[in-house]
Structure 1
Amino acid sequence: MMDAQHVQSEQSVLFCSLSNICLDHLVLPGKPPLIDIVGGPGGYATLGARIFAASPLSKRIGWLITVGGDFPSQVKEELESWDLSLSLKIDDKQLTPRGLQHYEDESFGPVSFHELTPAFDFSPSDLLDAKVAHASAFHLLGTPEMCATYIPAIHRLRRSAGNPKPCLVVWEPEPRACRTTTRAATVKAAANVDVVSPNHLELRRLFEDDFSTSRPTAAMIEDYAQRLVAEGLGRNGDGQLVVRAAELGCMVLSRKEPARWFPAFYSPSREDVDRARFEGVEVPSHPSVVDPTGAGNAFLGAFTFELAMSNDISEACCRGIVAASFTLEQIAFPTLSRGRHGRSKETWNGIQVEIRLKEYKRRLAMG
């Protein structure tokens, strides 16, 4: 068993995503391909947390990455520059997980993804080796079966290591596993977590096989959400459901609290928002939105980090919305900049994140 001092040192890690990274090959129309771009749900979730955790707070983000012997040194240097509690596990007998992301036109809207080399299998015991088993909060993207297996295993591992304190778990259901036939398994698995967060399309697929609109209206989202919450989410049936809804922002709901909406930072025009909200039609994106890849994962990274810090779900939603906004502005990750010798605050795409957060809260106050 670990001694108390060792457990306490590991508890300094506040957040860890249980999803691995993927190195993407991006094929863009009329441009040379971009090779070995960091992506994957774990990459974007960790990015979201990091956006709101400037150094030295960034050290409270744990990142367990398993890669192959072909992992590029320049990517390793990029990840190390984020100043995280990074644990890089290299398996020389395997290839690093890679994917091909093909953008079909210059709008960067239609996109297809193909796995080039498979992701590594994850074991909860890997967390102990990486000294992140005692993190305060975890983000997990996975199937109901994975959630129902991994989360209890992590709690057992923590108890055996001398830490009986439960951890916060935010579960992002695997999109391909969101079907009407898996709803019962989803609800059962959700008993192991604190927050469940599908997007609006995944939520609809848990209840409907045939759709009358291209996207669910806000009223449909609330109806599906209320039905899912009524079936019981969380350890005591009082867990939170957070629905990420693209241009409509996000909605949070529980048995104890009514539905609350938080608008997107880059909302389309008021007319288009109303069409999406009331008619369920696809609408043009805000001009600042270049590529939505990873925005939902980044939302959950920032959301989980803040919820672990403050237990304030409204603040967590605001920070999730703002973190996602930075990922939308370009293909791949936003650019992190620091002043010389750390004398000025960090910026992402040239913007201080706290300034953008204040702007977003000002909009909320104005209604």
Structure 2
Amino acid sequence: MARTICTLGMFIIDSFDFRDEEGNITGRTQEEAIGGGGTYCVVGARIWLSSTDIGMIIDRGTDFPPHIQHKLDSFGSYMWLFRDRTDGSPTLRALNAYKGESREFKYMSSKIHVYPKDFEGTLLARPKYLHMCTIAERATRVLQEIREVEGWHPVLVYEPFEGACTPEEYPKLAAIMSDIDILSPNAEEALRMLEIPLPVTTTKVEEAATAFIKAGVKMCVIIRCAGLGAYALETGASDRGFWTPAFWAEKDIAKIVDVTGAGNSFLGGLSAGLAKSGGDVKEAVLYASVSASFTIEQSGLPTVIQNSSPPGKELWNGDDPYRRLEDLRSRTNG
């Protein structure tokens, strides 16, 4: 049976270097952590679905730390398809170098991209929802490989790669827009691509979403706006989009520890919500916002435990995702 959601995103082991504005090493430390947009996406989906419904390929080197393996296994071993690097090369690693409030990100080892053909012949073949976060050029190859698989028509959830969200790159994205089911940049990326000046406002976000729909997106555009929430506009909605608040509002700022991976997790939750609601975008965005809320409460991925009452019920960061879902739904409907 096909998985519900798979990602073409990468798995990364993140390391950290913290310095002050003058470049001096600070006393702040952080151990190696799990990273990668694909990882955060599938864990965002895992909050709502069984590990047997989700999938991701991880290229694992001989340097794979035991504590990271243990963390991944806690979400369910069925989620992960490991490709062990037999040539002795390491797992993909990246350095997050902080200087004061600024952050520089750079890869420390070679990348291996995942494509749809890598799923064929495995338990991850032909998922119903397919997530990717990449540049338009690579997305073009992904689309071609999808077309080559007879009878497979996944819902494509496309998150433009941050570094390619520029006016110069936008024509390449526009050229494949009609093959994208769901387009979801964050607000600053959306405005930058369309040369709409900052700062972010609700009016500008709505303008950007309308422009993307007119460019040919098949199903909907969802622009992620951090504390403002998310704005969704469906094809054929005649500019009647809707806003969904972020689960953690400005008054809850103490709950927000690290926003890394929040957007990826949002899209995993969105895909799960679409699957559970039969394609109801408004309902799915609620799931997405709750998934993001668990991601930003700590550095790294959230923690899942099996609750003893009732038996088998899962708690994430000690809380019930469905309690948060009902909370957010009541705020939205109120």
Tell me whether the two structures share a fold, i.e. TM-score over 0.5: yes
Tell me the residue number matched to 2:272. Answer: 305
Match of 2:175 among 168, 188, 196: 188
- Contact persistence 2:7–2:131 (CA under 8 A): yes
Tell me the residue number matched to 2:122. Answer: 130
Match of 2:148 among 141, 145, 156: 156
- Contact persistence 1:14–1:136 (CA under 8 A): yes
| d(CA) in 2 for partners of 1:170, 1:59 | 20
Q: What TM-score results when the alignment is normalised by the length of structure 1?
A: 0.82
Deviates more, 1:195-204 or 1:175-184: 175-184
Q: Deviations over 1:208-247 (max 9, x none)?
A: 18x4x4x32111111122122112112xxxx211101111
| d(CA) in 1 for partners of 2:268, 2:323 | 19
Answer yes or no: is 1:173 the counterpart of 2:157: no
Tell me the residue number matched to 1:38. Answer: 34
- Contact persistence 2:10–2:113 (CA under 8 A): no
Using a 3 Å threshold, how does the CA distance of structure 1 residues 60 and 344 change in structure 2: closer, same or farther? closer
1:244-259 maps to which residues of 2 (within 5 A)?
Answer: 244-257=224-237, 258-259=240-241
Tell me the residue number matched to 1:226. Answer: 210
Tell me the residue number matched to 2:21. Answer: none
Answer yes or no: is 1:17 the counterpart of 2:14: no
Answer yes or no: is 1:261 the counterpart of 2:255: no
Using a 3 Å threshold, how does the CA distance of structure 1 residues 288 and 110 change in structure 2: closer, same or farther? farther
- Tell me the number of residue pairs that the alignment of Structure 1 and Structure 2 aligns: 322
- Contact persistence 1:64–1:130 (CA under 8 A): no
Identity %: 28
Tell me the residue number matched to 1:100. Answer: 95
Tell me the residue number matched to 1:363. Answer: 331
Q: Deviations over 1:322-341 (max 9, x none)?
A: 00001111111112111359
Partner SS for 1:170: strand
| d(CA) in 2 for partners of 1:119, 1:305 | 28
Tell me the residue number matched to 1:140. Answer: 132
| d(CA) in 2 for partners of 1:341, 1:286 | 31
Tell me the residue number matched to 1:276. Answer: none
Partner SS for 2:254: coil
Structure 1 residue 344 displacement after superposition: 4.5
Structure 1 residue 201 displacement after superposition: 0.7
Answer yes or no: is 1:324 the counterpart of 2:292: yes
- Contact persistence 1:102–1:111 (CA under 8 A): yes
Using a 3 Å threshold, how does the CA distance of structure 1 residues 151 and 25 change in structure 2: closer, same or farther? same
Tell me the residue number matched to 1:59. Answer: 52
Give RMSD over aligned pairs: 2.0
Q: What TM-score results when the alignment is normalised by the length of structure 2?
A: 0.90
| d(CA) in 1 for partners of 2:126, 2:185 | 26
1:108-123 maps to which residues of 2 (within 5 A)?
Answer: 110-123=102-115
- Contact persistence 2:167–2:195 (CA under 8 A): yes
- Contact persistence 2:74–2:304 (CA under 8 A): no
- Contact persistence 1:292–1:328 (CA under 8 A): yes
Using a 3 Å threshold, how does the CA distance of structure 1 residues 166 and 123 change in structure 2: closer, same or farther? closer
Tell me the residue number matched to 1:4. Answer: none
Using a 3 Å threshold, how does the CA distance of structure 1 residues 27 and 329 change in structure 2: closer, same or farther? farther
2:265 is matched by which residue type in structure 1? A
Answer yes or no: is 1:241 the counterpart of 2:221: yes
Match of 1:50 among 46, 52, 69: 46
- Contact persistence 1:152–1:192 (CA under 8 A): no
| d(CA) in 1 for partners of 2:319, 2:208 | 37
Q: Deviations over 1:298-357 (max 9, x none)?
A: 000110122133211111100000000011111111121113598252111110111111
| d(CA) in 2 for partners of 1:136, 1:251 | 24
1:133 is matched by which residue type in structure 2? A
| d(CA) in 2 for partners of 1:296, 1:120 | 22
Structure 1 residue 95 displacement after superposition: 1.5
**TM superposition outliers: structure 1 runs of 4+ over 4 Å:** none
Using a 3 Å threshold, how does the CA distance of structure 1 residues 302 and 242 change in structure 2: closer, same or farther? same
Partner SS for 1:31: coil
Partner SS for 2:275: helix
Partner SS for 2:107: strand
Answer yes or no: is 1:291 the counterpart of 2:258: yes
> Which runs of 5 or more residues in structure 1 are unaligned?
1-8, 270-284
Partner SS for 2:108: strand
> Which runs of 5 or more residues in structure 2 are unaligned?
19-25
Using a 3 Å threshold, how does the CA distance of structure 1 residues 103 and 265 change in structure 2: closer, same or farther? farther
